[in-house]
Amino acid sequence: MSTWFTYLWDLLKTNFGLIPALLLLLGITLGFLFPALEMQTDQPIKEWLPYTLSPDSDTLLMQSMIAILSTVSGVVFSVSMLVIAQASSQFGPRIIRIFANRQITQWTLGAFLGSTLYCLLVLWQIPINESTRSLTPGTVLLGLLAGLASLLLLIRYIWAVAEMMQVQVVIRAVSHDLTSSIDRLFPKVRDEDIRRRALEQKIERAEQLDFKTSGQPVFVDSQGYIQAIAYRDLANLATDKNFCVQLTVRPGDFLTSTDPALYVASHEPIDDDLQKQIAGLFLTGKQRTPRQDVECCIRELVEVAVRALSPGINDPHTAMSCIDYLGASMAELARRGEQQTQYLDDEGQIRLLAPRDSFNEAFTVAFNQIRLYGSSNPMVVIAMLKALLRIANATDQPTQRNVIRRELQTLHAIITETWKHGIDREPAMEWHERVEDALEEKAEGENENSEEENNDEDNDAA
Protein backbone atom coordinates (compact mmCIF):
# COMPACT_ATOMS: atom_id res chain seq x y z
CA MET A 1 0.00 0.00 0.00
CA SER A 2 2.89 2.36 0.70
CA THR A 3 3.92 1.99 -2.96
CA TRP A 4 0.67 3.53 -4.16
CA PHE A 5 0.86 6.38 -1.63
CA THR A 6 4.39 7.12 -2.83
CA TYR A 7 3.30 7.23 -6.44
CA LEU A 8 0.27 9.33 -5.58
CA TRP A 9 2.59 11.82 -3.90
CA ASP A 10 4.86 11.86 -6.97
CA LEU A 11 1.83 12.45 -9.17
CA LEU A 12 0.63 15.32 -7.03
CA LYS A 13 4.08 16.93 -7.02
CA THR A 14 4.26 16.92 -10.82
CA ASN A 15 0.62 18.00 -11.29
CA PHE A 16 0.82 21.46 -12.83
CA GLY A 17 -2.57 22.56 -11.49
CA LEU A 18 -2.49 21.31 -7.89
CA ILE A 19 -0.73 24.21 -6.17
CA PRO A 20 -2.59 26.90 -8.20
CA ALA A 21 -5.89 25.20 -7.30
CA LEU A 22 -5.00 25.16 -3.61
CA LEU A 23 -3.98 28.83 -3.66
CA LEU A 24 -7.19 29.70 -5.50
CA LEU A 25 -9.16 27.92 -2.78
CA LEU A 26 -7.17 29.80 -0.15
CA GLY A 27 -7.94 33.11 -1.89
CA ILE A 28 -11.66 32.30 -1.94
CA THR A 29 -11.64 31.32 1.74
CA LEU A 30 -9.79 34.43 2.88
CA GLY A 31 -11.86 36.63 0.56
CA PHE A 32 -15.03 35.65 2.39
CA LEU A 33 -13.57 35.15 5.87
CA PHE A 34 -11.51 38.33 6.42
CA PRO A 35 -14.19 40.91 5.49
CA ALA A 36 -16.77 39.12 7.66
CA LEU A 37 -14.43 39.03 10.65
CA GLU A 38 -13.30 42.63 10.25
CA MET A 39 -16.85 43.90 10.03
CA GLN A 40 -17.41 42.48 13.52
CA THR A 41 -14.19 43.98 14.91
CA ASP A 42 -14.38 47.04 17.19
CA GLN A 43 -13.38 50.39 15.69
CA PRO A 44 -10.58 51.08 18.24
CA ILE A 45 -8.73 47.99 17.04
CA LYS A 46 -8.92 49.21 13.43
CA GLU A 47 -7.32 52.51 14.39
CA TRP A 48 -4.09 50.68 15.21
CA LEU A 49 -3.77 49.55 11.60
CA PRO A 50 -1.58 51.72 9.36
CA TYR A 51 -4.10 51.70 6.54
CA THR A 52 -6.89 54.31 7.17
CA LEU A 53 -8.07 55.51 3.73
CA SER A 54 -11.70 55.87 2.66
CA PRO A 55 -13.90 53.20 1.04
CA ASP A 56 -13.49 54.96 -2.32
CA SER A 57 -9.69 54.67 -2.02
CA ASP A 58 -10.07 51.01 -1.08
CA THR A 59 -12.13 50.44 -4.21
CA LEU A 60 -9.59 52.14 -6.47
CA LEU A 61 -6.72 50.24 -4.87
CA MET A 62 -8.41 46.87 -5.29
CA GLN A 63 -9.31 47.66 -8.89
CA SER A 64 -5.69 48.54 -9.61
CA MET A 65 -4.41 45.38 -7.92
CA ILE A 66 -6.86 43.24 -9.91
CA ALA A 67 -5.73 44.79 -13.20
CA ILE A 68 -2.03 44.31 -12.39
CA LEU A 69 -2.29 40.78 -11.01
CA SER A 70 -4.57 39.45 -13.77
CA THR A 71 -2.27 40.86 -16.45
CA VAL A 72 0.84 39.35 -14.91
CA SER A 73 -0.97 36.01 -14.44
CA GLY A 74 -1.45 35.81 -18.19
CA VAL A 75 2.20 36.67 -18.73
CA VAL A 76 3.36 33.95 -16.32
CA PHE A 77 1.17 31.35 -18.03
CA SER A 78 2.37 32.36 -21.50
CA VAL A 79 6.02 32.31 -20.51
CA SER A 80 5.60 28.89 -18.90
CA MET A 81 4.05 27.42 -22.04
CA LEU A 82 6.77 28.98 -24.20
CA VAL A 83 9.54 27.54 -22.01
CA ILE A 84 7.99 24.07 -22.04
CA ALA A 85 7.56 24.14 -25.83
CA GLN A 86 11.15 25.27 -26.38
CA ALA A 87 12.56 22.73 -23.92
CA SER A 88 10.57 19.95 -25.59
CA SER A 89 11.99 20.79 -29.00
CA GLN A 90 15.55 21.29 -27.77
CA PHE A 91 15.99 18.61 -25.10
CA GLY A 92 13.20 16.16 -25.91
CA PRO A 93 9.58 15.74 -24.80
CA ARG A 94 10.50 13.44 -21.91
CA ILE A 95 12.46 16.26 -20.28
CA ILE A 96 9.19 18.13 -19.65
CA ARG A 97 9.00 16.05 -16.45
CA ILE A 98 11.92 18.06 -15.08
CA PHE A 99 10.12 21.35 -15.74
CA ALA A 100 6.91 20.04 -14.20
CA ASN A 101 8.82 19.16 -11.04
CA ARG A 102 9.99 22.76 -10.66
CA GLN A 103 7.31 24.07 -8.33
CA ILE A 104 8.29 27.73 -8.63
CA THR A 105 6.05 28.00 -11.72
CA GLN A 106 3.10 26.50 -9.87
CA TRP A 107 3.61 28.72 -6.83
CA THR A 108 3.96 31.87 -8.94
CA LEU A 109 0.89 31.19 -11.06
CA GLY A 110 -1.10 30.17 -8.00
CA ALA A 111 -0.03 33.26 -6.04
CA PHE A 112 -1.20 35.62 -8.79
CA LEU A 113 -4.47 33.78 -9.38
CA GLY A 114 -5.21 33.49 -5.66
CA SER A 115 -4.38 37.15 -5.01
CA THR A 116 -6.51 38.26 -7.97
CA LEU A 117 -9.51 36.27 -6.78
CA TYR A 118 -9.05 37.55 -3.21
CA CYS A 119 -9.01 41.17 -4.40
CA LEU A 120 -12.13 40.54 -6.51
CA LEU A 121 -14.04 39.21 -3.51
CA VAL A 122 -12.83 42.07 -1.31
CA LEU A 123 -13.87 44.62 -3.94
CA TRP A 124 -17.31 43.03 -4.07
CA GLN A 125 -17.73 43.36 -0.26
CA ILE A 126 -16.34 46.89 0.35
CA PRO A 127 -19.12 48.91 2.02
CA ILE A 128 -20.29 51.97 0.06
CA ASN A 129 -20.91 54.91 2.38
CA GLU A 130 -19.75 58.46 3.01
CA SER A 131 -17.28 57.53 5.75
CA THR A 132 -13.87 59.15 5.64
CA ARG A 133 -12.22 56.09 7.13
CA SER A 134 -11.92 52.60 5.75
CA LEU A 135 -14.23 50.04 7.33
CA THR A 136 -12.04 47.10 6.27
CA PRO A 137 -8.45 48.35 6.48
CA GLY A 138 -6.97 44.97 7.46
CA THR A 139 -8.69 43.15 4.61
CA VAL A 140 -7.52 45.67 2.02
CA LEU A 141 -4.03 45.72 3.53
CA LEU A 142 -3.85 41.93 3.22
CA GLY A 143 -4.75 42.18 -0.47
CA LEU A 144 -2.03 44.77 -0.99
CA LEU A 145 0.55 42.60 0.77
CA ALA A 146 -0.53 39.53 -1.23
CA GLY A 147 -0.06 41.48 -4.45
CA LEU A 148 3.39 42.70 -3.40
CA ALA A 149 4.41 39.17 -2.40
CA SER A 150 3.25 37.86 -5.78
CA LEU A 151 5.35 40.48 -7.56
CA LEU A 152 8.39 39.49 -5.50
CA LEU A 153 7.72 35.87 -6.38
CA LEU A 154 7.66 36.92 -10.04
CA ILE A 155 11.29 38.01 -9.75
CA ARG A 156 12.23 34.57 -8.43
CA TYR A 157 10.22 32.97 -11.23
CA ILE A 158 12.04 34.95 -13.94
CA TRP A 159 15.39 33.90 -12.48
CA ALA A 160 14.26 30.25 -12.33
CA VAL A 161 13.11 30.33 -15.97
CA ALA A 162 16.44 31.77 -17.09
CA GLU A 163 18.23 29.08 -15.08
CA MET A 164 16.17 26.19 -16.42
CA MET A 165 16.85 27.16 -20.02
CA GLN A 166 20.55 26.41 -19.45
CA VAL A 167 21.37 22.94 -20.68
CA GLN A 168 23.79 22.27 -17.81
CA VAL A 169 21.03 22.87 -15.27
CA VAL A 170 18.71 20.47 -17.11
CA ILE A 171 21.39 17.78 -17.31
CA ARG A 172 22.23 18.18 -13.64
CA ALA A 173 18.55 17.94 -12.68
CA VAL A 174 18.12 14.68 -14.61
CA SER A 175 21.38 13.37 -13.13
CA HIS A 176 20.13 14.21 -9.64
CA ASP A 177 16.99 12.15 -10.26
CA LEU A 178 19.19 9.31 -11.54
CA THR A 179 21.35 9.43 -8.41
CA SER A 180 18.22 9.41 -6.25
CA SER A 181 16.92 6.35 -8.11
CA ILE A 182 20.21 4.52 -7.56
CA ASP A 183 20.19 5.40 -3.86
CA ARG A 184 16.59 4.24 -3.54
CA LEU A 185 16.72 1.03 -5.59
CA PHE A 186 20.20 -0.40 -5.08
CA PRO A 187 21.56 -1.36 -1.65
CA LYS A 188 24.78 0.15 -0.37
CA VAL A 189 26.76 -3.06 -0.01
CA ARG A 190 30.45 -2.23 0.32
CA ASP A 191 31.79 -5.59 1.37
CA GLU A 192 32.75 -7.49 -1.79
CA ASP A 193 32.59 -10.92 -0.12
CA ILE A 194 29.08 -10.38 1.22
CA ARG A 195 27.88 -9.16 -2.16
CA ARG A 196 29.49 -12.08 -4.01
CA ARG A 197 28.02 -14.70 -1.65
CA ALA A 198 24.55 -13.12 -1.85
CA LEU A 199 24.71 -13.12 -5.64
CA GLU A 200 25.80 -16.77 -5.73
CA GLN A 201 22.95 -17.79 -3.41
CA LYS A 202 20.42 -15.97 -5.58
CA ILE A 203 21.68 -17.69 -8.71
CA GLU A 204 21.59 -21.13 -7.07
CA ARG A 205 18.02 -20.67 -5.86
CA ALA A 206 16.77 -19.17 -9.10
CA GLU A 207 18.21 -22.01 -11.17
CA GLN A 208 16.07 -24.49 -9.27
CA LEU A 209 12.79 -22.71 -10.04
CA ASP A 210 10.96 -22.04 -13.30
CA PHE A 211 7.22 -21.45 -13.23
CA LYS A 212 6.80 -20.42 -16.86
CA THR A 213 6.17 -23.97 -18.08
CA SER A 214 4.04 -25.26 -15.22
CA GLY A 215 2.57 -22.07 -13.75
CA GLN A 216 -0.70 -20.33 -14.51
CA PRO A 217 -0.36 -17.05 -16.42
CA VAL A 218 -1.90 -13.90 -14.96
CA PHE A 219 -2.79 -10.91 -17.15
CA VAL A 220 -3.21 -7.26 -16.22
CA ASP A 221 -6.22 -5.62 -17.84
CA SER A 222 -4.41 -2.42 -18.81
CA GLN A 223 -1.96 -1.16 -21.37
CA GLY A 224 1.01 1.12 -20.83
CA TYR A 225 4.38 1.38 -19.17
CA ILE A 226 4.75 -0.30 -15.80
CA GLN A 227 5.40 2.47 -13.31
CA ALA A 228 5.34 0.46 -10.09
CA ILE A 229 5.00 -3.06 -8.75
CA ALA A 230 4.15 -3.69 -5.12
CA TYR A 231 6.73 -6.44 -4.66
CA ARG A 232 6.35 -6.81 -0.91
CA ASP A 233 2.55 -6.87 -1.07
CA LEU A 234 2.70 -9.46 -3.85
CA ALA A 235 5.05 -11.65 -1.80
CA ASN A 236 2.80 -11.34 1.25
CA LEU A 237 -0.23 -12.27 -0.84
CA ALA A 238 1.61 -15.32 -2.18
CA THR A 239 2.46 -16.35 1.37
CA ASP A 240 -1.12 -15.94 2.58
CA LYS A 241 -2.60 -17.87 -0.36
CA ASN A 242 0.23 -20.44 -0.42
CA PHE A 243 1.49 -20.04 -3.97
CA CYS A 244 4.68 -18.90 -5.70
CA VAL A 245 5.05 -16.17 -8.30
CA GLN A 246 7.53 -15.57 -11.11
CA LEU A 247 7.28 -12.14 -12.73
CA THR A 248 8.00 -11.70 -16.43
CA VAL A 249 8.08 -7.90 -16.41
CA ARG A 250 9.69 -5.14 -14.40
CA PRO A 251 9.10 -1.39 -13.98
CA GLY A 252 9.71 0.39 -17.28
CA ASP A 253 8.48 -2.45 -19.50
CA PHE A 254 5.55 -1.92 -21.82
CA LEU A 255 2.64 -4.16 -20.87
CA THR A 256 -0.57 -5.02 -22.71
CA SER A 257 -3.63 -6.98 -21.66
CA THR A 258 -2.52 -9.95 -23.79
CA ASP A 259 0.97 -10.23 -22.28
CA PRO A 260 1.33 -12.41 -19.16
CA ALA A 261 2.64 -10.26 -16.32
CA LEU A 262 3.53 -13.24 -14.15
CA TYR A 263 3.14 -16.98 -13.67
CA VAL A 264 1.67 -18.50 -10.53
CA ALA A 265 2.64 -21.93 -9.23
CA SER A 266 -0.22 -23.13 -7.07
CA HIS A 267 -1.88 -26.41 -6.14
CA GLU A 268 -5.28 -24.84 -6.76
CA PRO A 269 -6.49 -22.92 -9.83
CA ILE A 270 -6.38 -19.13 -9.63
CA ASP A 271 -9.91 -17.71 -9.61
CA ASP A 272 -10.95 -14.36 -11.10
CA ASP A 273 -11.03 -12.55 -7.77
CA LEU A 274 -7.44 -13.53 -6.98
CA GLN A 275 -6.33 -12.56 -10.48
CA LYS A 276 -7.88 -9.11 -10.04
CA GLN A 277 -6.19 -8.81 -6.64
CA ILE A 278 -2.83 -9.67 -8.18
CA ALA A 279 -3.38 -7.32 -11.13
CA GLY A 280 -4.16 -4.51 -8.70
CA LEU A 281 -0.56 -4.64 -7.48
CA PHE A 282 0.65 -3.37 -10.89
CA LEU A 283 0.54 0.32 -11.73
CA THR A 284 0.72 1.26 -15.41
CA GLY A 285 0.80 4.68 -17.03
CA LYS A 286 1.47 6.57 -20.23
CA GLN A 287 5.16 7.12 -19.52
CA ARG A 288 8.08 5.74 -17.53
CA THR A 289 8.91 7.19 -14.12
CA PRO A 290 12.16 7.03 -12.12
CA ARG A 291 10.58 5.82 -8.88
CA GLN A 292 11.31 2.10 -9.55
CA ASP A 293 12.89 2.40 -13.01
CA VAL A 294 16.55 3.42 -12.96
CA GLU A 295 16.74 3.32 -16.76
CA CYS A 296 14.18 6.12 -17.06
CA CYS A 297 16.64 8.89 -16.17
CA ILE A 298 19.43 7.17 -18.10
CA ARG A 299 17.31 7.28 -21.25
CA GLU A 300 16.52 10.94 -20.64
CA LEU A 301 20.21 11.83 -20.46
CA VAL A 302 20.87 9.74 -23.55
CA GLU A 303 18.08 11.54 -25.39
CA VAL A 304 19.61 14.94 -24.59
CA ALA A 305 23.02 13.70 -25.78
CA VAL A 306 21.69 12.16 -29.01
CA ARG A 307 19.72 15.29 -29.85
CA ALA A 308 22.82 17.39 -29.27
CA LEU A 309 24.75 15.16 -31.70
CA SER A 310 22.13 15.46 -34.44
CA PRO A 311 23.17 17.44 -37.56
CA GLY A 312 20.50 20.05 -36.89
CA ILE A 313 21.95 20.98 -33.48
CA ASN A 314 25.58 19.77 -33.68
CA ASP A 315 26.47 20.51 -30.04
CA PRO A 316 29.06 17.93 -28.92
CA HIS A 317 29.76 19.79 -25.66
CA THR A 318 26.24 19.05 -24.43
CA ALA A 319 26.74 15.38 -25.31
CA MET A 320 30.05 15.36 -23.42
CA SER A 321 28.33 16.76 -20.33
CA CYS A 322 25.72 14.00 -20.51
CA ILE A 323 28.49 11.41 -20.84
CA ASP A 324 30.27 12.81 -17.78
CA TYR A 325 27.16 12.52 -15.63
CA LEU A 326 26.34 9.09 -17.03
CA GLY A 327 29.86 7.91 -16.23
CA ALA A 328 29.60 9.17 -12.65
CA SER A 329 26.22 7.49 -12.18
CA MET A 330 27.38 4.20 -13.68
CA ALA A 331 30.44 4.27 -11.40
CA GLU A 332 28.16 4.68 -8.41
CA LEU A 333 25.91 1.89 -9.68
CA ALA A 334 28.95 -0.41 -10.02
CA ARG A 335 29.67 0.06 -6.29
CA ARG A 336 26.17 -0.96 -5.30
CA GLY A 337 24.74 -4.37 -4.55
CA GLU A 338 22.18 -6.24 -6.59
CA GLN A 339 18.49 -5.43 -6.35
CA GLN A 340 16.31 -7.86 -4.48
CA THR A 341 15.03 -10.44 -6.97
CA GLN A 342 13.80 -13.07 -4.51
CA TYR A 343 11.29 -12.64 -1.72
CA LEU A 344 11.08 -15.35 0.94
CA ASP A 345 8.54 -16.19 3.59
CA ASP A 346 9.34 -16.79 7.24
CA GLU A 347 10.21 -20.42 6.54
CA GLY A 348 12.76 -19.52 3.85
CA GLN A 349 10.64 -20.62 0.88
CA ILE A 350 10.78 -18.48 -2.25
CA ARG A 351 7.46 -16.77 -2.82
CA LEU A 352 8.40 -14.27 -5.52
CA LEU A 353 10.99 -14.23 -8.31
CA ALA A 354 11.31 -10.89 -10.07
CA PRO A 355 13.57 -9.61 -12.85
CA ARG A 356 15.13 -6.30 -11.83
CA ASP A 357 17.48 -3.70 -13.25
CA SER A 358 21.15 -4.64 -13.47
CA PHE A 359 24.42 -2.83 -14.07
CA ASN A 360 25.03 -4.54 -17.43
CA GLU A 361 21.69 -3.50 -18.88
CA ALA A 362 21.94 0.04 -17.52
CA PHE A 363 25.45 0.36 -18.93
CA THR A 364 24.29 -0.76 -22.39
CA VAL A 365 21.41 1.71 -22.37
CA ALA A 366 23.72 4.51 -21.26
CA PHE A 367 26.37 4.26 -23.98
CA ASN A 368 25.08 2.34 -27.01
CA GLN A 369 23.13 5.10 -28.73
CA ILE A 370 25.67 7.78 -27.87
CA ARG A 371 28.40 5.65 -29.46
CA LEU A 372 26.31 5.10 -32.58
CA TYR A 373 25.63 8.81 -33.10
CA GLY A 374 28.95 10.20 -31.82
CA SER A 375 31.49 7.71 -33.12
CA SER A 376 32.78 10.15 -35.74
CA ASN A 377 33.52 12.88 -33.19
CA PRO A 378 36.87 12.43 -31.38
CA MET A 379 35.79 14.68 -28.49
CA VAL A 380 32.75 12.53 -27.79
CA VAL A 381 34.70 9.26 -28.02
CA ILE A 382 37.38 10.56 -25.64
CA ALA A 383 34.64 11.63 -23.21
CA MET A 384 33.26 8.09 -23.39
CA LEU A 385 36.72 6.63 -22.70
CA LYS A 386 37.10 8.90 -19.67
CA ALA A 387 33.72 7.71 -18.41
CA LEU A 388 34.75 4.08 -18.94
CA LEU A 389 37.91 4.70 -16.93
CA ARG A 390 35.88 6.12 -14.06
CA ILE A 391 33.56 3.12 -14.14
CA ALA A 392 36.44 0.63 -14.45
CA ASN A 393 38.04 2.03 -11.30
CA ALA A 394 34.77 1.56 -9.42
CA THR A 395 33.81 -1.94 -10.54
CA ASP A 396 34.72 -5.09 -8.63
CA GLN A 397 32.85 -7.85 -10.50
CA PRO A 398 34.02 -9.82 -13.57
CA THR A 399 30.64 -9.47 -15.30
CA GLN A 400 30.84 -5.70 -15.00
CA ARG A 401 34.37 -5.64 -16.38
CA ASN A 402 33.28 -7.83 -19.30
CA VAL A 403 30.62 -5.37 -20.43
CA ILE A 404 33.09 -2.49 -20.08
CA ARG A 405 35.71 -4.42 -22.04
CA ARG A 406 33.21 -5.15 -24.81
CA GLU A 407 32.40 -1.46 -25.15
CA LEU A 408 36.11 -0.66 -25.08
CA GLN A 409 36.78 -3.09 -27.92
CA THR A 410 34.05 -1.49 -30.01
CA LEU A 411 35.52 1.96 -29.47
CA HIS A 412 38.97 0.62 -30.35
CA ALA A 413 37.64 -0.67 -33.68
CA ILE A 414 36.03 2.70 -34.38
CA ILE A 415 39.25 4.59 -33.60
CA THR A 416 41.55 2.38 -35.64
CA GLU A 417 39.31 1.57 -38.59
CA THR A 418 37.23 4.69 -39.25
CA TRP A 419 39.37 7.64 -38.16
CA LYS A 420 41.74 8.74 -40.91
CA HIS A 421 43.95 11.25 -39.10
CA GLY A 422 46.58 10.21 -36.59
CA ILE A 423 46.23 13.46 -34.66
CA ASP A 424 42.73 12.30 -33.70
CA ARG A 425 43.71 8.71 -32.94
CA GLU A 426 46.67 9.38 -30.63
CA PRO A 427 44.86 11.01 -27.65
CA ALA A 428 42.01 8.53 -27.94
CA MET A 429 44.40 5.57 -27.87
CA GLU A 430 46.09 6.98 -24.78
CA TRP A 431 42.79 6.95 -22.92
CA HIS A 432 42.05 3.52 -24.35
CA GLU A 433 45.25 2.16 -22.82
CA ARG A 434 44.40 3.73 -19.45
CA VAL A 435 41.06 1.95 -19.39
CA GLU A 436 42.70 -1.35 -20.34
CA ASP A 437 45.29 -0.94 -17.58
CA ALA A 438 42.58 -0.19 -15.03
CA LEU A 439 40.61 -3.31 -16.02
CA GLU A 440 43.72 -5.48 -15.87
CA GLU A 441 44.67 -4.09 -12.48
CA LYS A 442 41.21 -4.83 -11.12
CA ALA A 443 41.32 -8.38 -12.51
CA GLU A 444 44.77 -9.06 -11.02
CA GLY A 445 43.65 -7.71 -7.64
CA GLU A 446 40.63 -10.00 -7.65
CA ASN A 447 42.77 -13.02 -8.56
CA GLU A 448 45.11 -12.30 -5.67
CA ASN A 449 42.19 -12.03 -3.28
CA SER A 450 40.78 -15.33 -4.56
CA GLU A 451 44.13 -17.08 -4.06
CA GLU A 452 44.35 -15.76 -0.51
CA GLU A 453 40.83 -16.99 0.23
CA ASN A 454 41.66 -20.44 -1.16
CA ASN A 455 44.84 -20.61 0.93
CA ASP A 456 42.90 -19.64 4.04
CA GLU A 457 40.32 -22.34 3.35
CA ASP A 458 43.06 -24.93 2.85
CA ASN A 459 44.74 -23.90 6.10
CA ASP A 460 41.42 -24.15 7.96
CA ALA A 461 40.80 -27.60 6.47
CA ALA A 462 44.28 -28.76 7.45
At 63-111, the pLDDT tens digits run 888 999 989 888 888 888 888 888 888 787 777 777 777 788 889 989 9
Band the pLDDT of 25: cuts 50, 70, 90. Answer: very high
Band the pLDDT of 361: cuts 50, 70, 90. Answer: very high
Q: Which of 236-245, 331-340, 399-408, 452-461 is modeled with the greatest confidence?
A: 399-408
Average pLDDT over residues 213-232: 86
Residue 451 has a pLDDT of 52
Residue 406 has a pLDDT of 94
d(CA 178, CA 240): 35
Among 50-59, 217-226, 250-259, 269-278, which stretch is predicted with the lowest mean pLDDT? 50-59
Residue 214 has a pLDDT of 67
Q: Are 199 and 360 in contact (CB under 8 A)?
A: no
Q: Left, alpha or beta for 352 (phi > 0: left; psi -120 to 50: alpha)?
A: beta
* pLDDT > 90? residue 272: no
Which is more confident, 451 or 344? Answer: 344
For residue 333, which of 315, 359, 296 has the smallest C-alpha distance?
359
Taking CA 295 as the corner, what is the angle to CA 223 and CA 432, rounded to the nearest 5 degrees? 145
d(CA 170, CA 180): 16
Band the pLDDT of 462: cuts 50, 70, 90. Answer: very low
* pLDDT > 90? residue 16: no
Residue 48 has a pLDDT of 54
d(CA 6, CA 157): 28
Q: What is the pTM of this model?
A: 0.81
Average pLDDT over residues 311-336: 92
d(CA 248, CA 426): 46
Average pLDDT over residues 358-372: 93
Three-class SS of 381-433: HHHHHHHHHHHHHHCCCHHHHHHHHHHHHHHHHHHHHHCCCHHHHHHHHHHHH
Band the pLDDT of 268: cuts 50, 70, 90. Answer: confident
Report the Cα 451 to chain-centroid distance in Å. Answer: 43
Residue 1 has a pLDDT of 53
Average pLDDT over residues 200-229: 71
Residue 41 has a pLDDT of 66
Band the pLDDT of 385: cuts 50, 70, 90. Answer: very high
Residue 154 has a pLDDT of 92
pLDDT > 70 fraction of the chain, expressed in percent and rounded:
82
* pLDDT > 50? residue 224: yes
Residue 207 has a pLDDT of 47
50-63 pLDDT, tens digit per residue, is 555 667 777 888 88
Band the pLDDT of 13: cuts 50, 70, 90. Answer: low
Which is more confident, 236 or 198? Answer: 236
Band the pLDDT of 6: cuts 50, 70, 90. Answer: low
Residue 454 has a pLDDT of 52
Q: What's the first-to-final CA gap in the chain, in angstroms?
A: 53
Residue 225 three-state SS: strand
414-461 pLDDT, tens digit per residue, is 999 888 888 888 999 999 999 999 999 887 766 655 555 555 554 554
